[in-house]
Amino acid sequence: MLEIFIITPFPDFFKPILNQSMFKKSVERDSVKYNIINLFDFLPKMESRLDDYPFGGGEGMIMKLEPIFKAYESLDSKNSRVIFPSPDGKMFNQNIANELSKEKKLVFICGHYKGIDQRVRNEIVTDEISIGDYVLSNGELPAIIMIDSIMRLVPGVLNDYKSAETDSFSSDLLDGPHYTRPREYCGLKVPNVLLSGNHKEIENWFLKERINKTKKNRMDLYKKYKSKNCGEENE
């Protein structure tokens, strides 16, 4: 089982999401356990704000370190990977999702305002991860995106685990096209090869479609794939 701790000022953000779809199933199947930690529960007495002005001046407000430290110290998560979603972190990808899905425990710290006190990042955080070259208003959104990508790779979550093995970015290729019933709709037909029953031909067709889509949409991945699989496109 993978146990995930989410440290956040807004615990209600996660409740409706974690009660839906694969998140709910991951709990029902005893594959993932989610723990939501409210940062406001760890504010010192007589204080009501999680943020303060930055030393040295500058724009924006900074999240205080004391509530975050206390929230983290309250967890049974020693030696766990601690993830801070941030646009200045390393880029999240499928390889990182695969790696994190093999952990026993993960901690996510959701930032707000201009950022969090650097001492939290220096002393607690093990992984600073970005989901793209853009800025969001909170850390909850990138956290739940990463958690979704990670939890579906945990054994027992998906009905068909092999489905994840052919997703986009597996083998450096994007996913290919998929079809289901009916065979024809308003003149739009399913490719004949998929109806042939010839598994080898279907496999080759699907691989070529994945290669073509990757070449069209992600030249960087295509070049990476091509360098590892010289000549495969011509087979």
What digits encode the pLDDT tens for the residues 92-101?
999 999 999 9
Q: Give residue-wise pLDDT tens across range 136-176.
A: 999 999 999 999 999 999 999 998 766 666 666 667 898 88
Look at residues 110, 137, 129 and name the one whose alpha carbon lies nearest to residue 9.
Answer: 110
Q: Give CA–CA dist 164/154, Å, rounded.
A: 10
Q: How many domains, in total, are found in the chain? A: 2
Residue 58: pLDDT band with limits 50, 70, 90: confident
Element (H, E) at 91: strand 81-91
161 inside domain: no
pTM: 0.87
Q: What is the pLDDT of residue 235?
A: 47
Q: Please name the residue that has the structure tokens 């945990």.
A: 154
Q: How confident is the model at residue 102 (pLDDT cuts 50, 70, 90)?
A: very high
Residue 44 is assigned to a structural domain of this protein: yes
Q: How many CB atoms lie within 10 A of CB 27?
A: 17
User: Token pair of 191, please?
Assistant: 């490719």
Other CB atoms within a 10 A radius of the CB of residue 208 amount to: 14
What percent of the chain clears pLDDT 70, i.e. is strictly above it? 94
Q: Which residue segment(s) compose the domain that 208 sits in?
A: 168-234
Distance CA 151, CA 18 (A): 11
Contact 31, 154 (CB under 8 A): yes
Contacts of 19 (CB under 8 A, 6+ apart): none
pLDDT value of residue 232: 55
Is 157 domain-assigned?
no
Indicate left, alpha or beta for 58 from its phi (over 0: left) and psi (-120 to 50: alpha): left
For residue 160, tell me if it sits in a domain: no
Residue scoring higher pLDDT (191 or 171): 191
Contacts of 27 (CB under 8 A, 6+ apart): 18, 33, 34
Which of 37, 44, 50 has its CA nearest to residue 7?
A: 37
Q: Report d(CA 153, CA 149) in Å as an integer.
A: 7
- The reply to whether 144 and 206 lie within a common domain is no
Structural domain ending residue among the three candidates 93, 125, 151: 151
Q: How much is the pLDDT for 46?
A: 85
Kindly state whether residues 89 and 195 are assigned to the same domain.
no
Q: What is the domain-level CATH number for residue 193?
A: 1.10.1270.20
What was the pLDDT predicted at 124? 97
Q: Single out the residue of 8, 184, 171 nearest to residue 83, CA to CA.
A: 8
